Amino acid sequence: MSQRGVGKTKQKKERKNPQLAPVTDCRCAGPFYKPVGMMLLSLLTGARDQKRAPATRERARLPRGRRSSRRRAGGEQARMRAGGREDEEASRKLKSMDVDKAENGGGAGEESPRPAVKYYGWKAMPFIIGNETFEKLGTLGTSANLLVYLTQVFHMRSVDAATLLNGLNGTTSLAPIIGAFLSDAYLGRYLALAIASVASLIGMFLLTLTAGADSLHPAECPAADGPCGNKATSYQLAVLFMAFAFLVLGSAGIRPCSMPFGADQFNPHTESGRRGINSFFNWYYFTFTAAMMISATVIIYVQSNVSWPIGLGIPTALMFLACVLFFMGTRLYVRVTPEGSPFTSVVQVLSAALKKRSLKQPKDPKQDLFDPPHTSAMVTKLAHTDQFRCLDKAAIVASPEEVRPGGAAPADPWRLCSVQQVEEVKCLIRIVPVWSTGIIYYVAVVQQSTYVVLSALQSDRRLGNFHIPAASFTVFAMLAQTLWIPFYDRLLLPKLRKVTGKEEGFTLLQRQGIGIALSTVAMVISAIVEDRRRAIALSHPTLGTTITGGAISAMSSLWMVPQLMVLGLSEAFNLISQIEFYYKEIPEHMRSVAGALAFCNLALGNYLSGFLVTIVHRTTGSGRNWLAQDLNKGRLDLFYWTIAGIGVFNFIYFVICARWYRFKGTSN
């Protein structure tokens, strides 16, 4: 038969069975472009076929009749040798093929058992980063000014409002742990983000209604001194708390899933994909800080000086745009399917190791431990390590009855676990010491929103005829982050790659260490500036008094800008690398938990800072209180020196943890 006849016969077969048709991604239309696309595809597949084994090439050169007869003969011989085990071998081969194709970024061709994953990378980023930016503009623009809203509109006492917000902020920071678990175990990151985005929109809408509808907030108080008697009713508080509940639900899904979901869009098995992941974390945090800057200036100004309904309506509209952007990019997203509760495997390893604690350590882990073929297409195969060897006992086969026939699965997963399960638990344990350093690190970071504001209130905040709001000084820390991230990613990082030979320039642990060191430097600068501010207030004429009765120092408040810039720079180093570190080092099926760990650090850092303030206040209160209501009568500089000293010990502790740490995937 002529070559043209063979081509027509092949086309007829492909029309009858579409699965035989070659997979193409050519979107060109018309009779001219289609043959060109097919020719290019044939050239590419032909080049790939050159790497086949000689027997494969020999089989390809045989005539069609001899090829089919040899295939039948070989099949009969194989069935005779296998003794009825051909189904098991075929199944095992199919699974290994899935793993190989998944680890190599997917494959094309008619032998592929499942469609290859297509990564759109940066094409999906406008929808993901746009969603995150508008979401942060909406939620942060509201939460940053809630204390003022509750005291001015709902007429709460400042103590009650502060207590309510402390509980709300703590719950908002801890809720991502639950959201991360549900995402990794059942929902998947896409569905979790979809539900959370809608929940945040509902919460913002309800909160806007409490300001816009007269029946949903107390009546305005007459302009008079003294407390206001118009209190919120039970119905009004119920609507307010319902809005807070939806906002907490939104943060539970958005905070842990947004960043890992964005990183999922890049192919981790290619060099361009790995570089895309590294740059994504930087640009993600860049948009985060930019949104915070706009929220801390424009939106707060509208809320406080123009109108509360308009000031809350703008963030609600931005949250609506965030939802629209997220759902517009649905067709481009790579969605990682959840594989069940990741914590069940952790508990199984601990339980099995405890039950077999009396067994001796295996002499040869490669021979003595249960290590079945790795079949997961999503989770990376981990090599055995010699750390935490007591956990290896969970993978010791104490008797043949512990393994099912075929040797691929344990009879009781609570008595026998695989080496892969044991190594995943080891990954989590190795991360804990490094993670704990972030709690102490945040003690320095949270000072920019507490005592830095109080120092600014007792400083000269005049800038010409304009008075800088004390709460707006946090913008300088955000400005440092916003300027540094594009400078590092576009200018400094390419040069660091040439010097260090690493794709990320500095390693993730090095960047975290730099951030901890910079936070300590920021506390030292803060102590020096505060001592100078207090000295000028005591030795020079003051500029009046604050509402709380403290004298205003003649020192310009702009002297606090350097310490805030250094603190913002430390966040740019530490916080971004923290999240990226958790994302890369935690097993893939627990990556939403990685996104929640940083927020858990922030929550615990706030609690630790509050505990430290309480200890210092009670210890020094009997004499000269370091944290007196009037900072000129206290010694806030000594409090800063204390935090700096804690930061030095935290840095030493971090260096020890970093030198001990073994990255995921490295063997003995």
Residues 400-417 have pLDDT tens digits of 888 888 778 888 888 899
Residue 509 within a domain: yes
Report in angstroms the alpha-carbon separations of 70 from 1, 62, 77, 81, 89: 22, 10, 11, 16, 21
| 2 within domain boundaries | no
Q: Is 62 within the bounds of a domain?
A: no
Q: Which residues, 6+ apart, have CB-to-CB distance to 350 below 8 Å? A: 391, 394, 425
Answer with the residue of higher pLDDT: 37 or 511.
511
pLDDT of residue 668: 52
Q: Please report, rounded to a whole number, the percentage of residues in the chain having pLDDT higher than 70.
A: 76
pLDDT reading at 89 higher than 60: no
The owner of tokens 């350590």 is: 361
Which tokens go with 146? 């809630």
Looking at 295, 313, 340, which one is the last position of a domain? 340
Residue 197: CATH number of its domain: 1.20.1250.20
Please report the pLDDT score of residue 16 as a whole number. 44
Please check whether residues 530 and 506 belong to one and the same domain.
yes
Please name which of 515, 555, 517 lies closest in space to residue 534, comparing C-alpha atoms. 555
Same structural domain, 360 and 332: no
Within 10 angstroms of residue 36's Cβ, the number of other Cβ atoms is 12
More confident residue, 180 or 596: 180
Domain-located, residue 50: no
pLDDT at residue 595 in the model: 64
Based on the domain organization, do 495 and 616 belong to the same domain?
A: yes
123 vs 390: CA distance, rounded Å: 46
Rounded to whole angstroms, how far apart are CA atoms 492 and 485?
10
Q: What is the pLDDT of residues 510-565, one digit of tens each?
A: 999 999 999 999 999 999 999 999 999 888 888 888 766 778 888 988 999 999 99
Residue 80 located in a structural domain? no
Whole-prediction pTM: 0.65
Residues 156, 246: one domain? yes
Point out the domain boundary residue: 398, 424, 450. Answer: 424
Give the mean pLDDT of 392-401. 88
Separation CA 500–CA 186 (nearest Å): 41
For the chain, give the mean pLDDT.
75
Nearest alpha-carbon partner for 228 in 238, 239, 218, 242: 218
Spatial separation of the C-alpha atoms in residues 547 and 216, rounded to whole Å: 31
Q: In this predicted structure, what is the pLDDT of residue 570?
A: 92
Residues 160-193 pLDDT 10s = 776 677 677 777 877 888 888 888 778 888 888 8
Higher pLDDT among residues 321 and 623, named by residue: 321
In a domain, 78, yes or no: no
Query: Same structural domain for residues 213 and 350?
Result: no
**163: containing domain:** 119-340
Note the pLDDT tens digit of each residue in 422-437: 988 998 899 999 999 9
Residue 257 shares a structural domain with residue 289: yes
pLDDT at position 43: 32
**What DSSP letter does each residue of 163-225 carry, written as one string?**
HHHHHHHHHHHHHHHHHHHHIIIII-HHHHHHHHHHHHHHHHHHHHHHHH-GGGSPPPPPS-S
Contact (Cβ atoms closer than 8 angstroms) between residue 314 and residue 302: yes
Q: How confident is the model at residue 124 (pLDDT cuts 50, 70, 90)?
A: confident
Sign of CA dihedral 286, 287, 290, 292: negative
Check whether residue 369 and residue 511 sit in a common domain: no
Cα-Cα-Cα-Cα dihedral sign, residues 227, 229, 230, 235:
positive
Q: Does 317 lie in the same domain as 359?
A: no
pLDDT confidence band for 656 (50 / 70 / 90)? very high
223 against 141, higher pLDDT: 141
Tell whether 36 is covered by a domain: no
pLDDT for position 233 = 84
Mean pLDDT, range 460-480, rounded to an integer: 80
| 583 & 498 share domain | yes
Q: Which of 261-265, 444-448, 663-667 has the lowest mean pLDDT?
A: 663-667
**Number of domains making up the chain:** 3
pLDDT at 67 over 60: no
- Grouping H, G, I as helix, E, B as strand and the rest as coil, residue 462 is strand
Burial of 510 (0-12, 13-18, 19+ CB in 10 A): middle
3-state DSSP assignment of residue 463: strand
**Does one domain contain both 324 and 365?**
no
Q: Is the pLDDT of residue 42 over 60?
A: no
Q: For the chain, give the percent of residues with pLDDT over 90.
A: 13
Q: What is the pLDDT of residues 237-281, one digit of tens each?
A: 899 899 989 988 988 888 778 877 887 888 877 777 777 777 777
Q: Could you tell me if 391 and 443 lie in one domain? A: no
Q: What pLDDT shows up at residue 212? A: 86
pLDDT at residue 265, as a whole number: 82
For residues 634 and 489, membership in a common domain is answered with yes
> Most confidently modeled of 446-455, 506-515, 595-604?
506-515
Separation CA 209–CA 207 (nearest Å): 5
pLDDT score for 162: 63
For residue 264, being part of any structural domain is answered with yes
- pLDDT at residue 339, as a whole number: 65
Per-residue pLDDT of 1-32, as tens digits, reads 444 444 444 444 444 444 333 333 333 333 33
- Residue where one domain finishes, among candidates 340, 372, 399: 340
In this model, does residue 85 exceed pLDDT 50? Answer: no
Report pLDDT for 502.
Answer: 76
